[in-house]
């Protein structure tokens, strides 16, 4: 076992070291200092490799500290509207995000990785040996990172060391149990959950949804003491004992299980495909682009549109959006349908169910105070029309056309940017206008007083958000062009920026700020961002929008 | 019309690819570029097409009397695996291509007439390129040259994965095209080079050299060529 762990660490260390030297050589200062021979200095490499493994372990600990800080303290803080943070909320938040979330999260055994491909396919390591060693490494990493993070940050919220210890042990146990859950589900559904797009969506929505619903329940049924009870249970000794027993059973299962190769076969195949350059395998399957593939039978025929009136790049993009209607536009239409549906149901119950009438009247009177929910809502819906659109543009169009010089000419890059921006904005505008229209209908129907200034501010903010998310994704795509021909996301800034935007939207949803301040902030940020983004695109995109 | 490489130098880090290489390609000929793996055939194409910058030296295109630095507009490039936008049908792609090259095209034909030239079947013209076979995609790329007629056509290891029928069609097409163009293609397949090329250029030891014309069709060609390429630095 120890030898296997050593081999995996060696492979991972060497890969990291070589990647490090490769990128070091790309930096202007080191370009001349570091020669190609560096790869042959085995002593230096062994040393750097150890440094790399130590650094990545430390980085992992740092990430867990940041994670516990954001999910334990940050989100719990926003949930309480900046009132004092207590240990109950800290425990509750980590229970939902890390224990419940940990049970469903990724799996070291099942999820695909380059390292797994190298060890099992290329180095012919037995699948069972690899999986068990990988599992032990992941358990070790979780133990040395979660336990200190929860204990240290627990001190801030005045959590006793025993409680912190119990909570962190439960988190580590949840990750162990998660492995077996993944093994079972992967076998049952013959898929890899860790890289399954619908599952990831489910995970991203399900966990915050549970968190929010319990918060809401707790607010309305205070006497039930829901959150304190959950917190007490998840830091109680019996619960921890149960978790440890379950983990022990999982250990035994993992140790006794024999069919690892069949279990992970699929993740190896996917990686195998990923490793084949896109130039040789244009139909290559990759998770980043799995949801933007066209289907011959569904997407070929474009109904009711005549493209003959368009020429050149306009023609190209008109067809692009028409043929991607199912993937990009329909989800937005569905969201609009839901908005009108909710409006209709509200109207029906307002007029036909007298008991709901006063509630609905009150909600509508206070509706504008719910404005902080909208950035997240619009962010979420425009993921289809804007973010997915950019991935579709790359996968189905730009990856091939960017190989040709005519498509890379600055004039053409800016022209296609403009055409695409207008197309995306039109779709998003439809969503924004629908929200505004439904608001007006409901206000008039429920005979509420319409304050023209507030309503105007609300409308402008909603449309600004639509504009912001239209430009944001396209801007990030044109400036960072984060995808490589191997279909990976190469640019870390792109991923970081996306996480930041997601967090800002999520946190702002929790803040429940009053309309005036928040709306003005949204409008000014949107306008400033749009101007800056457009200038940057016009200045930089002709250089940055390239195949990498 | 000639394409002139003048004292070109290119290296990646310490690995030198071209060292003061010179060569002149002429219109009306098909050149086969031969070299061992890693000799720099694709690099040469990328330098000519402007995708890679030379360390020093010049590449000129002389269409009449004057040497002018080559521009990307003068180049048509075919990759070993054709790269085309999946979401369009063949017909739509050609319409788009004609649109953006309208000012360069004289004697414009209808789209269907163009398809006739490369013998792309009627029922395939309105299918998504995504579903096209390798050969069909290559025909589309060839069609682009027939439409926009770039002076220089570079083919990076083409014809390697074609079936015999399509390979023959492509060979015929290239031979028809050569009168108005400078065509250079890189290949590993000797037979293809001897079949199709008017001249074989060898990229070896960082320079380009022409092989003896008579040798090209002689039975000893293969043995001689291997001798040259085996000759280590």
Within-domain flag for B137: no
Mean pLDDT to the nearest integer, A330-345? 92
For A52-98, how does the pLDDT look when each residue is reduced to its tens digit (9 = 90+)? 888 888 999 999 999 998 888 877 666 655 455 678 888 998 999 99
Looking at chain A, which residue has its C-alpha nearest residue B127?
A300
Mention every residue, 6+ apart, whose C-beta is less than 8 A from residue A160: none
Give the helix/strand (H/E) hosting B200.
strand B199-204
For A152-164, how does the pLDDT look when each residue is reduced to its tens digit (9 = 90+)? 998 888 888 999 9
Within-domain flag for A264: yes
Strands B182-186 and B152-156: parallel
> In B, which residues are within 8 Å of A280 by CB distance?
81
Asked if B4 and B24 touch (Cβ cutoff 8 Å), the reply is yes
Q: What is the pLDDT of residue A284?
A: 39
Angstrom distances, CA of residue A447 to CA of A267, A458, A466:
58, 18, 28
Q: What is the pLDDT of residue A82?
A: 44
Residue A475 pLDDT > 80, yes or no?
A: yes
Within-domain flag for B192: yes
Within-domain flag for A304: no
A287: pLDDT confidence band, cut at 50, 70 and 90?
low
- Cα separation of A157 and A166, whole Å? 16
Q: What is the pLDDT of residue A419?
A: 95
Within-domain flag for B159: yes
Q: What is the pLDDT of residue A190?
A: 78
State the SS3 of A212-223: HHHHHHHHHCHH
Total length of chain A: 548
Distance from CA of A334 to the nearest CA of B (A): 23
The answer to whether residues A270 and A316 belong to one domain is: no
Looking at chain A, which residue has its C-alpha nearest residue B82?
A279
Three-state DSSP class for residue A98: helix
Mean pLDDT to the nearest integer, B99-110? 84
Mention every residue, 6+ apart, whose C-beta is less than 8 A from residue B166: B135, B138, B139
Mean per-residue pLDDT of chain A = 84
Q: What is the pLDDT of residue A315?
A: 94
The answer to whether residues A128 and A256 belong to one domain is: yes
For A296-315, how does the pLDDT look when each residue is reduced to its tens digit (9 = 90+)? 666 777 776 788 889 999 99
A119: pLDDT confidence band, cut at 50, 70 and 90?
confident
The answer to whether residues A265 and A316 belong to one domain is: no
Q: Which stretch of A3-7, A169-173, A343-347 has the lowest confidence by average pLDDT? A: A3-7
Looking at chain B, which residue has its C-alpha nearest residue A22?
B13
Q: Which stretch of A188-202, A227-241, B104-118 has the lowest confidence by average pLDDT? A: A188-202
Which domain covers residue A371, as residue numbers?
Answer: 309-544
Residue B171 pLDDT > 90, yes or no?
A: no
Q: What is the pLDDT of residue A81?
A: 53
Which of B87, B103, B126, B147 best probes binding to A when mutated, by most A CB atoms within 10 angstroms?
B87
The answer to whether residues A255 and A378 belong to one domain is: no
CB environment A279-306: b (16+ within 10 A), e (fewer): bebbebebbbbbebbbeeeebbeeeeee
The answer to whether residues A257 and A316 belong to one domain is: no
**Domains of chain A: total:** 2
> In A, which residues are within 8 Å of B80 by CB distance?
279
Render B177-196 in DSSP notation, one character per residue.
HGGGSEEEEE-S-HHHHHHH
Tell if the CB–CB gap between A36 and B14 is shorter than 8 Å.
yes
Q: What is the pLDDT of residue A28?
A: 72
Within-domain flag for A281: no
**Domains of chain B: total:** 1
Q: What is the pLDDT of residue A308?
A: 85
CATH number of the domain where residue B187 is located: 3.40.50.300
Tell if the CB–CB gap between B128 and A294 is shorter than 8 Å.
yes
Tell if the CB–CB gap between B95 and A315 is shorter than 8 Å.
yes
Within-domain flag for B76: yes
**Max CA distance (Å), chain B:** 54
Mean pLDDT to the nearest integer, A275-300? 56
The answer to whether residues A67 and A188 belong to one domain is: yes
For A363-418, how does the pLDDT look when each residue is reduced to its tens digit (9 = 90+)? 888 888 788 888 888 998 888 888 889 989 998 899 889 888 889 889 999 999 99
Angstrom distances, CA of residue B5 to CA of A181, A184, B65, B67, B208:
63, 63, 16, 11, 10
Tell if the CB–CB gap between A405 and B73 is shorter than 8 Å.
yes
Residue B64 pLDDT > 50, yes or no?
A: yes
The answer to whether residues A269 and A345 belong to one domain is: no
Of A307, A311, A400, the CB nearest to B84: A400
Of A8 and A488, the structure prediction assigns the larger pLDDT to A8
Mention every residue, 6+ apart, whose C-beta is less than 8 A from residue A454: A368, A515, A516
Strands B75-78 and B56-62: unpaired
- Cα separation of A151 and A68, whole Å? 10
- Cα separation of B115 and B231, whole Å? 46
The answer to whether residues A376 and A465 belong to one domain is: yes
Q: What is the pLDDT of residue A165?
A: 93
The answer to whether residues A43 and A106 belong to one domain is: yes
Tell if the CB–CB gap between B81 and A279 is shorter than 8 Å.
yes
Render A59-88 in DSSP notation, one character per residue.
HHHHHHHHHHIIIIIIHHHHHTTTS---HH
Cβ–Cβ contact A6 with B under 8 A: no
Q: What is the pLDDT of residue A411?
A: 92
Closest CA to A312 of A432, A418, A222: A418
- Cα separation of A422 and A433, whole Å? 16
Mean per-residue pLDDT of chain B = 85
Residue B152 pLDDT > 90, yes or no?
A: yes
Within-domain flag for B102: no
Q: What is the pLDDT of residue A535?
A: 94
Which of A33, A308, A321, A323 best probes binding to B when mutated, by most B CB atoms within 10 angstroms?
A323
The answer to whether residues A259 and A401 belong to one domain is: no
Q: Which of A222, A256, A274 is the last residue of a domain?
A: A274
Within-domain flag for A212: yes
Give counts: helices (H), strands (E), chain A.
25, 0
Within-domain flag for A318: yes
The answer to whether residues A269 and A334 belong to one domain is: no
Within-domain flag for A282: no
Residue A277 pLDDT > 50, yes or no?
A: no
- Cα separation of B205 and B224, whole Å? 16
Q: For the sheet containing B75-78, what is the strand order?
A: B75-78, B152-156, B182-186, B30-34, B199-204, B207-210
Q: From the CB of residue A534, how many other CB atoms can be counted at a distance below 10 Å?
A: 15
Q: Which of A258, A274, A290 is the last residue of a domain?
A: A274
Of A36, A283, A311, the CB nearest to B99: A311
Of B88 and A366, the structure prediction assigns the larger pLDDT to B88
Angstrom distances, CA of residue B232 to CA of A122, A266, B12:
32, 45, 20
> In B, which residues are within 8 Å of A395 by CB distance?
86
Residue B55 pLDDT > 50, yes or no?
A: yes
Residue B139 pLDDT > 80, yes or no?
A: yes
Q: What is the pLDDT of residue A296?
A: 67
- Cα separation of A336 and A351, whole Å? 23
Q: Which of A214, A249, A274 is the last residue of a domain?
A: A274
Which domain covers residue B25, as residue numbers?
Answer: 2-84+151-230
List the structure tokens of A250.
């999982």
Distance from CA of B164 to the nearest CA of A (A): 20
Within-domain flag for B125: no
Within-domain flag for B128: no
> In B, which residues are within 8 Å of A413 by CB distance?
none
List the structure tokens of A1.
């076992």
A15: pLDDT confidence band, cut at 50, 70 and 90?
confident
- Among residues 147-186 of chain A, which lie with CB inside 8 Å of chain B? none
Residue A428 pLDDT > 90, yes or no?
A: yes
Of A25, A312, A403, the CB nearest to B96: A312
Mean pLDDT to the nearest integer, B91-105? 89
Per 3-state DSSP, chain B is made up of helix, strand and coil in percentages (nearest 5) of 40, 25, 35
Tell if the CB–CB gap between A300 and B75 is shorter than 8 Å.
no
**Max CA distance (Å), chain A:** 82
Residue B40 pLDDT > 60, yes or no?
A: yes
For A438-459, how does the pLDDT look when each residue is reduced to its tens digit (9 = 90+)? 999 999 988 888 888 888 999 9
Within-domain flag for B160: yes
Cβ–Cβ contact A40 with B under 8 A: no
What phi and psi, each to the nearest 5 degrees, are found at residue A489?
-85, 115
- Cα separation of A523 and A376, whole Å? 15
Q: ipTM > 0.85? A: no
> In A, which residues are within 8 Å of B79 by CB distance?
279, 403
Residue B208, strand partner residues: B203
């Amino acid at each position: 076992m120890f030898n296997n762990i050593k081999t995996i660490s060696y492979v991972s260390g060497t890969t990291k070291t070589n990647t490090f030297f490769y990128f070091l050589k790309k930096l202007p200062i080191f370009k001349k200092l570091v020669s190609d021979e560096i790869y042959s200095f085995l002593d230096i490499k062994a040393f750097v490799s150890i440094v790399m493994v130590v650094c990545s372990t430390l980085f992992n600990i740092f990430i867990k500290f940041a994670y516990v800080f954001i999910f334990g303290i940050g989100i719990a803080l926003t949930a309480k509207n900046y009132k004092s943070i207590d240990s109950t909320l800290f425990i509750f938040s980590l229970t939902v995000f890390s224990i419940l979330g940990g049970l469903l999260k990724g799996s070291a055994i099942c999820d695909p990785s380059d390292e797994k491909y190298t060890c099992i396919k290329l180095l012919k390591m037995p699948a069972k040996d690899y999986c068990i060693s990988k599992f032990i490494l992941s358990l070790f990493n979780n133990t040395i990172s979660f336990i200190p993070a929860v204990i240290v940050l627990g001190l801030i919220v005045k959590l006793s060391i025993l409680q912190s210890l119990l909570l962190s042990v439960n988190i580590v146990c949840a990750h162990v149990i998660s492995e077996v859950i993944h093994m079972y589900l992967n076998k049952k559904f013959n898929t890899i959950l860790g890289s399954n797009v619908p599952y990831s969506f489910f995970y991203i929505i399900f966990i915050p949804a549970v968190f929010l619903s319990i918060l809401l329940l707790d607010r309305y049924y205070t006497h039930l003491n829901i959150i304190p009870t959950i917190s007490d249970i998840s830091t109680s000794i019996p619960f921890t004992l149960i978790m440890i027993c379950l983990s022990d059973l999982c250990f035994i299962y993992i140790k006794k299980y024999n069919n690892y190769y069949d279990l992970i076969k699929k993740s190896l195949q996917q990686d195998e495909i990923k490793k084949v350059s896109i130039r040789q395998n244009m139909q290559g399957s990759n998770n980043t682009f799995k949801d933007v593939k066209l289907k011959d039978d569904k997407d070929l025929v474009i109904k009711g549109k005549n493209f003959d009136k368009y020429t050149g790049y306009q023609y190209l993009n008109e067809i692009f959006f028409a043929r991607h209607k199912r993937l990009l536009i329909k989800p937005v239409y569905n969201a609009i349908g839901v908005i009108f549906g909710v409006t209709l149901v509200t109207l029906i119950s307002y007029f036909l169910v007298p008991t709901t009438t006063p509630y609905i009247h009150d909600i509508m009177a206070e509706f504008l105070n719910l404005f902080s929910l909208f950035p997240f809502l619009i962010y979420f819906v425009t993921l289809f029309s804007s973010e997915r659109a950019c991935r579709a543009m790359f996968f189905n169009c730009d990856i091939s056309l960017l190989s040709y010089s005519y498509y890379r000419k600055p004039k053409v890059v800016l022209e296609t940017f403009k055409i695409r921006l207008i197309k995306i904005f039109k779709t998003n505008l439809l969503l924004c206008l629908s929200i505004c229209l439904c608001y007006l209908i409901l206000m008039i129907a429920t005979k509420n007083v319409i304050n023209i200034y507030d309503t105007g501010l609300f409308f402008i903010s909603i449309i600004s958000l639509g504009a912001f998310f239209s430009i944001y994704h396209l801007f990030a795509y044109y400036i960072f062009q984060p995808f490589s021909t191997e279909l990976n996301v190469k640019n870390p800034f792109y991923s970081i920026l996306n996480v930041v935007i997601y967090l800002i939207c999520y946190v702002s949803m929790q803040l429940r700020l009053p309309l005036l301040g928040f709306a003005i902030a949204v409008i000014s940020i949107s306008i400033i961002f749009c101007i800056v983004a457009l200038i940057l695109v016009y200045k930089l995109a002709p250089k940055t929008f390239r195949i990498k | 019309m000639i394409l002139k490489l003048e004292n070109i130098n290119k290296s990646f880090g310490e690995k030198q690819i071209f060292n003061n290489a010179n060569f002149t390609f002429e219109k009306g000929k098909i050149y086969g570029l031969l070299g061992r793996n890693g000799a720099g055939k694709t690099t040469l194409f990328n330098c000519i097409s402007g995708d890679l910058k030379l360390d020093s030296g010049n590449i000129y295109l002389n269409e009449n009397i004057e040497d002018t630095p080559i521009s990307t507009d003068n180049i048509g490039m075919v990759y070993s695996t054709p790269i085309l936008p999946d979401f369009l049908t063949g017909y739509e792609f050609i319409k788009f291509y004609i649109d953006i090259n309208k000012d360069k095209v004289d004697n414009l034909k209808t789209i269907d007439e163009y398809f006739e030239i490369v013998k792309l079947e009627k029922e395939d013209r309105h299918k998504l390129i995504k579903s096209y076979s390798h050969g069909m995609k290559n025909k589309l790329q060839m069609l682009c040259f027939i439409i926009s007629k770039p002076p220089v056509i570079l083919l990076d290891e083409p014809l390697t994965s074609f079936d015999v029928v399509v390979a023959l069609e492509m060979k015929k097409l290239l031979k028809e095209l050569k009168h108005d163009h400078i065509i250079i293609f890189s290949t590993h397949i000797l037979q293809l080079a001897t079949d199709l090329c008017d001249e074989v250029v060898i990229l070896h030891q960082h320079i380009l050299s022409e092989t003896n014309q008579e040798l090209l069709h002689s039975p000893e060609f293969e043995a001689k060529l291997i001798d040259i390429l085996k000759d280590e630095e």
